[in-house]
Structure 1
Amino acid sequence: MTVTDTLTSRGAAEKAARIELAACYRLAAHYQMTDLIYTHITAKVPGTSDQFLINPYGLRWEEITASSLVKIDVQGNKIEDSPHDVNPAGFTIHSAIHMARADAHWVMHTHTRAGVAVSCMRDGLLPLNQIALQFYGRLAYHDFEGIALDLAERERIVADLGPRNNLILRNHGLLTVGRSASEMFNNMFYLNRACEIQVSTLSMGQPLQPVPPEVCEHVAGQWGTMTLEDLQLEWNAHLRLLDTLDPGYRE
């Protein structure tokens, strides 16, 4: 049976989730948000509460396809045949959030240069511009405890994230969650963009123009009016770009 036959044999909902997750990996590679073969983007298998899709350990993100994604349980163990290995240790953070948050169907974790740089700042993400204000009052922080291999740390990560969808892991990187691929990816795309802008702004060594707190609140509220339908329009644009570059992720 070929990989294409294997993908076709799956249920429609799982097949669609696999295609969207593969797209997330390819897009993250395109936007330079990868860490070679490390970090993860994961998705719950539709219709399940304890099954997830994850990247094959060892593949670059731009190599990932829908059929190469591996199905695992909450401990990161493979639950169906696959020629690919997984990195169970890397699933520590993801499993905790997936299991604690019924709405966190999609979880994305990155070690981008700008994201890690901002995570090293005492004050974290600053309310400097319109994009950063998308996260004003909606951004959680988790203090660095070492490489996330300790299962005991999972409870503290979940507690620090709370009901929010965006987390800065101090001295480590960024994490976003969503009800859909579009919501999760939108959160990461703009959180990382806000970090990039902050790094560029601070590098100029010029006095900063502060945004008054009441304006910060107002702009955050404006961002909050975006719906899943709005995010889907943006996601569709990402997919059109990806299909132009290389539609092979769908296989």
Structure 2
Amino acid sequence: MNIASLKEVVSAEEGQLRVDLAACYRLVAMYGWSDLVFTHISARVPGPEHHFLINPYGLMFDEITASSLVKVDAQCNKVIDSPFPVNPAGFTIHSCIHDARHDVQCVLHTHTRAGVAVSAQKNGVLPISQQSTFVLASLAYHDYEGVALRDEERPRLVADLGGKTFLVLRNHGLLTVGKSVPEAFLSMYTFENTCRIQIDAQAGGGELVTVDPRILQGLPQVMKQVTAGQGAGIAWPALLRRLDRTDASYRT
């Protein structure tokens, strides 16, 4: 695809955000979390305008580049002209979270097999792995109300998420939020692995050992130690290097 570069059109700050978000889409595809052209990852553009970047509807996640990302307003109207369509319905979940959570730059939503499987379980995420402890420390649930197209669902979704990082959308999938694109991605990496481990452990058929709930206390401080105080920054540069070794076209 011949996509006109936006490097000279947008600010340096937005340009870097575009690179990070395009990288996130490529990584989601690389790790097998994408659902063809469905689901979305959105990012708030710095500034007072309340503009957002979202995927061009119809492109596979491994096709997305920094310049192909579509810039929209809170109603999903294009701010910069783009040859690509957008999916306003797909932005419903994202827009209400961005509107309510000003601490959030990125919202990442998936429909993975393991994520949907756990979302369909009555007890949700179980405390049976180290990964699950980080999720359970900041986890919320939202009941399924059908395909998220109706505005009246928005306040209920926002209320259920509250100030948490991880959200199980019952019978639907997983969602994470982050103060940056790398933070939302690292949270989803942990969330997805939590669900895969749970499904695998249940498939074994044996009695499961649960984690002592006291371990959940002080998890934010533990995470700081685990990441050497860098948060998602401890892994993000290496992930970008991995993408660059295989296909650096996401940067264009």
Q: Into which bin does the TM-score normalised by the smaller protein fall? A: over 0.9
- Kindly state the Cα deviation for residue 214 of structure 1 after the two structures are TM-superposed: 1.6
Native 8 Å contact 2:73 2:79 kept in 1: yes
Code of the aligned partner of 1:236 = P
* 1:68-117 superposed Cα distances (whole Å, 9 cap, x missing partner): 00011111111221000000000000000001011111100000000000
Q: CA RMSD in A?
A: 1.6
In the alignment, structure 1 segments of 5+ residues that lack a partner are: none
Contact 1:72 1:79 in 2 (8 A): yes
- The CA deviation at 1:221 is 5.2
Q: Per-residue deviation at 1:135?
A: 1.4
Per the alignment, residue 232 of structure 1 pairs with 233
Aligned to 2:101: 101
Alignment match, 1:213: 213
Residues 136-192 of structure 1: CA deviation (Å, up to 9, x unaligned): 231000000000001110111100000111100000000001111111101111100
**Letter aligned with residue 168 of structure 2:** I
**Aligned-residue offset at 1:5:** 4.1
Which residue in the other structure is 1:122 paired with? 122
**Shift of the alpha carbon at 1:220?**
6.4
Cα gap change, 1:48 to 1:245, in 2 (>3 Å): farther
2:132 aligned residue: 132
Q: What is residue 177 of structure 1 aligned with on the other side?
A: 177
Instruction: Name which of structure 1's ranges 30-39 and 2-11 shifts more when overlaid on structure 2.
Output: 2-11
Q: Following TM superposition, by how much is the alpha carbon of 1:7 offset from its aligned partner in structure 2, in angstroms?
A: 2.3
Aligned length: 250
Paired position in structure 1 for 2:249 = 248
TM-score (norm 2): 0.94
TM-score (normalizing by structure 1): 0.95
Q: Which amino acid aligns with 2:124?
A: G
- Tell me the amino acid that sits aligned with residue 118 of structure 1: V
Q: What does 1:1-251 align with in structure 2 at a 5 Å threshold?
A: 3=3, 5-217=5-217, 222-223=222-223, 226=227, 229-251=230-252
Does the CA-based 8 Å contact 1:135-1:220 persist in structure 2?
no
Describe the SS at the equivalent of 1:200: helix
Contact 2:137 2:216 in 1 (8 A): no
> What SS does structure 1 have at the residue aligned with 2:38?
coil
Q: In structure 2, how many angstroms separate the alpha carbons of the residues matched to 1:136 and 1:227? A: 21
Counterpart residue identity of residue 29, structure 1: A
Deviation of 1:48 (Å): 3.4
* Identity rate, percent: 50
Q: Distance in 1 between matches of 2:220 and 2:117?
A: 23
Structure 1 stretch displaced more, 44-53 or 218-227: 218-227
- Deviation, 1:230, is 3.2
Residue pair 1:142, 1:169 contacting (<8 A) in 2 also = yes
Structure 2: distance between partners of 1:109 and 1:32: 13
